[in-house]
Chains A and B, each alone.
Chain A
Amino acid sequence: MPKSDIGQHAPLVATAIRPSTIFNCNMQNPRSIGKILRLREFNLAKSKQRPFDTSKFMVAAVHHVFRQTRAYTNSTFSADELLHFNALASTWWDTNGPSRLLHKMNPLRISFIFDTIDRYSIKSLSRESGLKMLDVGCGGGILTESLARNPRVASVTGIDMSEEVLSVAQQHKKQDPALVSGGKLQYKLCSLLDLPIAQEAGEGQIEERYDGVTLFEVLEHVPSPSAILQAATERVRPGGWIFISTVNRTAVAYLTTILMGEKVLNIVPEGTHTWSKYINERELREWFYEQKTNVPGSGEHWDIVRSEGCIYVPFVGWKFAGPRDVGNYFLAARRLQ
């Protein structure tokens, strides 16, 4: 990761939102600017409400020390994130390498997806098998391959912004004849925003929109999470799902994911996380809630049916445990119409 930038352009006064963040987000989509503003403003407002807010203190401290300047190439991924993940590409499938924690998380992701579908799907609206899935930020394809092997999934598309990482995914796919011949799995080098939106299925047409879009460990790596969320919602069919996992922007999350994970224990590659990009569970909730109220007439309506905190237990693995508004968490939102 480009360390040289650290500190050079660190703002003296910490702000929860930088002008460049707004400036560089997708100008073609004015709604996303509004969204991101609302999202960040909401953070600020919320932090003011608290009598003693450790996270506010952390904002100042962390921004000052770790804030890096980023040259945004586009609104969905920044250059330094790209560099960071490119560097990880070669070791992506090394289960004892830097991505070990990600591999360990896979069973939790899979069980989260299918348990949620089993428990909360609305029979009349959604399918329970023959699912069409989209894995956003698929990386080396850890989750994508598992989805493709799952008998309940009919097809899965993995998209990522890093060419190097995606070529690792393509290479690794070749190691499994079942994936090569099954034809269920495809990778695309593109941003979610550039992925064509399938139209609503008419009479006799095949539904092209996705039954599930996964945004696992994605939102905390993009400069404009609301643009990504917005794009994801447009690609889900009614009755379909968005599955998200990310990290709360709290002091505890800083201590566990960055200080312990990256700097002390070294179980996560350094530079993977940026604390200021973390998203609180309440913010996501709020965002989905606004979908209903902000776009009157669209009839789009999102329900957050499940949201759970998870922790990594050494020697055991990832487990759903602990509060959902402190550290890592998973969230499932269902589209209703």
Chain B
Amino acid sequence: MKLCTLRATLPVRGRVFRTYAACRRLSSKSTLETVTGTQSGIAFDNSATISQTCSTTMSNLYDVVIVGGGISGLTLAAGLKSSPYTSNLKIALVESMSLASAKNWSPENDRYSNRVSSITPASRCYLSQIGVWDYVYAERVQPYDDMRVWDGVSGARIHFDAFHLGAEDASIAFMTENLNLQHALLSRLNDLPADPPVMVLDNTKVEGITEGPTFDDLDLSSWPSLKLSNGDIIMARLLVGADGVNSPVRSFANIKSRGWDYRQEGVVAVLDMEWDDRQRIAWQRFLPSGPIALLPMPDGKASLVWSTSPKHATHLKSLNGGAFCTLVNAAFRLGMVDLQYLMTRVDEEEITQEFEWRDGRLPIEAEGQQFPIRVVEVQEGSRASFPLKMRHCDTYVAPRIALVGDAAHTTHPLAGQGLNLGQGDVASLVRVIEQATQEGSDIGHEIVLQQYWAERYPINHMMLGVIDKLQKLYCTDFPPIVGIRTIGLEVVESLDWVKKIIMKQAAGA
């Protein structure tokens, strides 16, 4: 078994901090008999017999330390605090950036952040369950119940709608800004009547992780000990890495992350549509250079994710707004040869003329049916790009360590699953911790955490695998492959039951 290689002791990185050495010396004189506390809410009484240094260390023991104040990390904190079984755990959340802007976020009308996510019904359900969804600004959430995906080379199409979801009023997913979610999560954490409350340490970096100290009658050598940039040292019964692709927690645990870069960048932007057509449709066209997706946002806006070569990404970001919008329209409407030609032009007027001439030949009734209505404006400063990659860890757990979200796996955005896989991880980890606290098991014990890994790894692996194969299948215009994928897509399109299964999987059921 793979796990066998990852067992045993935590690697020692760096040396044990001087404070610990001091503690150890002092503790040999004065025993730690005054230490009190339970797994559910460690609290330490410090009597005068314990030195100041030692008592500082002791008061910094946490049941759960979450590194990363992104959506996964915050959801985990909110999830644990919302459960009756785990609400009394002592939790700390460490985030290197400031969370103030997310906490005090008040949405500006008509302006949207370019960091947008698609929330599947399963994720939304979990967020409702832990009381977070009530805090989300509903007017800034755009559900969609129609998805049109087609092959840029052959034109083969597939269409999903509410029928394939099994319910008339069901949604395929909900589009919203990450900030909206982060704000909701922080508000929920703030309002939760939890005792003790979650200790949120933002603007605080983790400078190093080592093993904990050993005293005469307390052995914290299996507890990860975090040195923070504010000078504090905190120790964790369970350290959760929700710290993204380059997870320091993962490096500490010596967990290998495998995968590859797609040699593509995702260009994102917030766009204004020609008019608010009130349609709730997500559009995606697979171009050989990468898929381009237009996802509906409220107020006649749309969010763009255009995966393309780094060269094109740079080009798209450098163009002025008008030319950029024209190229977006062209990418959804024109043939590959025309699009490639337009991509080589830089002058806005020339691009517009070339596009209009070609677009005029397309049937007007196809607009809004076969491809989206036109994009007319890009929101100032909303264009950005990020490299796309696939990563998956061999394991998500080590003794007293668990990884969630992007720290454990990263995927291509073409299916809008990244955030949702993380939410699934969190829901599963909370369930496992709940069960362990009820049993009286140590929540940091590897046998407990392995249940989380066993539950999530196959699900994530399948999703990552399918997305990766789709990406590879559509990243070519080699005719035999195009032929095969076209036949495949048309077969699926004609089989409603297959589409229902696909929808069910994509919804996270």
Residue ranges of A at the interface with B (Cβ–Cβ < 8 Å): 94-97, 100, 103-104, 106-107, 110-111, 145-151, 153, 171, 174-178, 180-182, 315
Task: State A153–B450 Cα separation when bound (angstroms).
Answer: 26
Does B379 belong to the interface (CB within 8 Å)? Answer: no
Q: Is there contact, CB below 8 Å, between A178 and B39?
A: yes
The distance from the CB of A315 to the nearest CB of chain B, in whole angstroms, is: 7
Across the interface, A95 reaches (CB within 8 A) one of B36, B58, B219, B450, namely B450
Task: State A334–B37 Cα separation when bound (angstroms).
Answer: 33
Task: State A100–B40 Cα separation when bound (angstroms).
Answer: 26
Residue ranges of B at the interface with A (Cβ–Cβ < 8 Å): 1, 3-4, 7-8, 32, 35-40, 42, 44, 58, 61, 217-223, 237, 399, 435, 439-442, 445-447, 450, 454
Across the interface, B440 reaches (CB within 8 A) one of A94, A153, A171, A174, namely A153
List of B residues within 8 angstroms of A176 by Cβ: 39, 237, 442
Query: Nearest A residue to B34 by beta-carbon distance?
Result: A181
- For the A-B complex, the count of residue pairs with Cβ-Cβ distances under 8 Å equals 82
Q: Is there contact, CB below 8 Å, between B440 and A146?
A: yes
Q: Is there contact, CB below 8 Å, between B439 and A106?
A: yes
Assuming the contacts A95-B7, A175-B220, asked whether A181 and B35 have C-beta atoms less than 8 A apart, the reply is: yes
Assuming the contacts A94-B7, A95-B447, A104-B447, asked whether A177 and B35 have C-beta atoms less than 8 A apart, the reply is: yes
The distance from the CB of A110 to the nearest CB of chain B, in whole angstroms, is: 4
List of B residues within 8 angstroms of A104 by Cβ: 447
Task: State A100–B450 Cα separation when bound (angstroms).
Answer: 12
The distance from the CB of B336 to the nearest CB of chain A, in whole angstroms, is: 46
Task: State A315–B7 Cα separation when bound (angstroms).
Answer: 17
Task: State A176–B37 Cα separation when bound (angstroms).
Answer: 10
Assuming the contacts A146-B441, A176-B39, asked whether A95 and B218 have C-beta atoms less than 8 A apart, the reply is: no
Query: Nearest A residue to B458 by beta-carbon distance?
Result: A315
Q: Is there contact, CB below 8 Å, between A178 and B447?
A: no
* Given pairs A96-B3, A153-B440, A182-B36, 15 additional interface contacts (CB within 8 A): A95-B7, A103-B447, A104-B447, A110-B441, A149-B38, A151-B38, A151-B40, A171-B219, A174-B219, A175-B220, A175-B221, A177-B37, A177-B58, A177-B61, A180-B217
Q: Is there contact, CB below 8 Å, between A150 and B439?
A: yes
List of A residues within 8 angstroms of B37 by Cβ: 177-178, 181-182
Q: Is there contact, CB below 8 Å, between B441 and A177?
A: no
Task: State A110–B442 Cα separation when bound (angstroms).
Answer: 13
List of A residues within 8 angstroms of B223 by Cβ: 175
List of A residues within 8 angstroms of B42 by Cβ: 177-178
Q: 3 tightest A-B contacts by CB? A: A150-B440, A149-B440, A146-B440
List of A residues within 8 angstroms of B217 by Cβ: 174, 180
Q: Is there contact, CB below 8 Å, between A175 and B441?
A: no
Task: State A96–B449 Cα separation when bound (angstroms).
Answer: 13
Task: State A178–B441 Cα separation when bound (angstroms).
Answer: 12
List of A residues within 8 angstroms of B450 by Cβ: 95
Q: Is there contact, CB below 8 Å, between A180 and B442?
A: no
Most B Cβ at <10 Å: residue of A148, A171, A177: A177
The distance from the CB of A144 to the nearest CB of chain B, in whole angstroms, is: 10
Query: Nearest A residue to B435 by beta-carbon distance?
Result: A107
Task: State A149–B437 Cα separation when bound (angstroms).
Answer: 8
List of B residues within 8 angstroms of A97 by Cβ: 7
List of A residues within 8 angstroms of B237 by Cβ: 176
Task: State A146–B440 Cα separation when bound (angstroms).
Answer: 4
The distance from the CB of A107 to the nearest CB of chain B, in whole angstroms, is: 6
Assuming the contacts A175-B219, A180-B217, asked whether A148 and B441 have C-beta atoms less than 8 A apart, the reply is: no
Task: State A103–B446 Cα separation when bound (angstroms).
Answer: 10
Across the interface, B439 reaches (CB within 8 A) one of A100, A146, A177, A180, namely A146
Task: State A175–B443 Cα separation when bound (angstroms).
Answer: 13
Could you list 10 examples of A-B contacts with CB < 8 Å? A95-B399, A104-B447, A110-B441, A151-B440, A175-B220, A176-B237, A176-B442, A177-B58, A181-B37, A182-B38
Task: State A100–B39 Cα separation when bound (angstroms).
Answer: 23
Task: State A116–B40 Cα separation when bound (angstroms).
Answer: 24
Query: Nearest B residue to A104 by beta-carbon distance?
Result: B447
List of B residues within 8 angstroms of A174 by Cβ: 217-219
The distance from the CB of A124 to the nearest CB of chain B, in whole angstroms, is: 26
Task: State A145–B37 Cα separation when bound (angstroms).
Answer: 15
Task: State A104–B237 Cα separation when bound (angstroms).
Answer: 20
Assuming the contacts A95-B7, A96-B4, A171-B219, asked whether A315 and B440 have C-beta atoms less than 8 A apart, the reply is: no
The distance from the CB of A197 to the nearest CB of chain B, in whole angstroms, is: 27
Task: State A100–B446 Cα separation when bound (angstroms).
Answer: 11
Assuming the contacts A103-B447, A174-B219, A177-B35, asked whether A110 and B440 have C-beta atoms less than 8 A apart, the reply is: yes
List of B residues within 8 angstroms of A171 by Cβ: 219
List of B residues within 8 angstroms of A103 by Cβ: 447
List of B residues within 8 angstroms of A146 by Cβ: 439-441
Task: State A175–B217 Cα separation when bound (angstroms).
Answer: 9
Task: State A177–B237 Cα separation when bound (angstroms).
Answer: 10
The distance from the CB of A113 to the nearest CB of chain B, in whole angstroms, is: 10
Q: Is there contact, CB below 8 Å, between A106 and B35?
A: no
Task: State A293–B320 Cα separation when bound (angstroms).
Answer: 96
Task: State A96–B3 Cα separation when bound (angstroms).
Answer: 8
The distance from the CB of A133 to the nearest CB of chain B, in whole angstroms, is: 11
Q: Is there contact, CB below 8 Å, between B218 and A177?
A: yes
Assuming the contacts A94-B8, A95-B445, A95-B447, asked whether A178 and B38 have C-beta atoms less than 8 A apart, the reply is: yes
Across the interface, A180 reaches (CB within 8 A) one of B8, B35, B441, namely B35
List of A residues within 8 angstroms of B440 by Cβ: 110, 145-151, 153
Task: State A185–B217 Cα separation when bound (angstroms).
Answer: 14
List of B residues within 8 angstroms of A180 by Cβ: 32, 35, 217-218
Task: State A149–B399 Cα separation when bound (angstroms).
Answer: 18
List of B residues within 8 angstroms of A153 by Cβ: 440
List of B residues within 8 angstroms of A95 by Cβ: 7, 399, 445-447, 450
Task: State A197–B217 Cα separation when bound (angstroms).
Answer: 30
Task: State A104–B439 Cα separation when bound (angstroms).
Answer: 13
Task: State A290–B156 Cα separation when bound (angstroms).
Answer: 78
List of A residues within 8 angstroms of B221 by Cβ: 175
List of B residues within 8 angstroms of A106 by Cβ: 439, 441, 447
Most B Cβ at <10 Å: residue of A104, A148, A150: A150
Q: Is there contact, CB below 8 Å, between B439 and A181?
A: no
The distance from the CB of A288 to the nearest CB of chain B, in whole angstroms, is: 27
Query: Nearest A residue to B442 by beta-carbon distance?
Result: A176
Task: State A95–B447 Cα separation when bound (angstroms).
Answer: 6
Query: Nearest A residue to B6 by beta-carbon distance?
Result: A96
Q: Is there contact, CB below 8 Å, between B439 and A110?
A: yes
The distance from the CB of B83 to the nearest CB of chain A, in whole angstroms, is: 15
Task: State A127–B36 Cα separation when bound (angstroms).
Answer: 25
The distance from the CB of A269 to the nearest CB of chain B, in whole angstroms, is: 16
Task: State A100–B3 Cα separation when bound (angstroms).
Answer: 12
Q: Is there contact, CB below 8 Å, between A315 and B36?
A: no
The distance from the CB of B439 to the nearest CB of chain A, in whole angstroms, is: 4
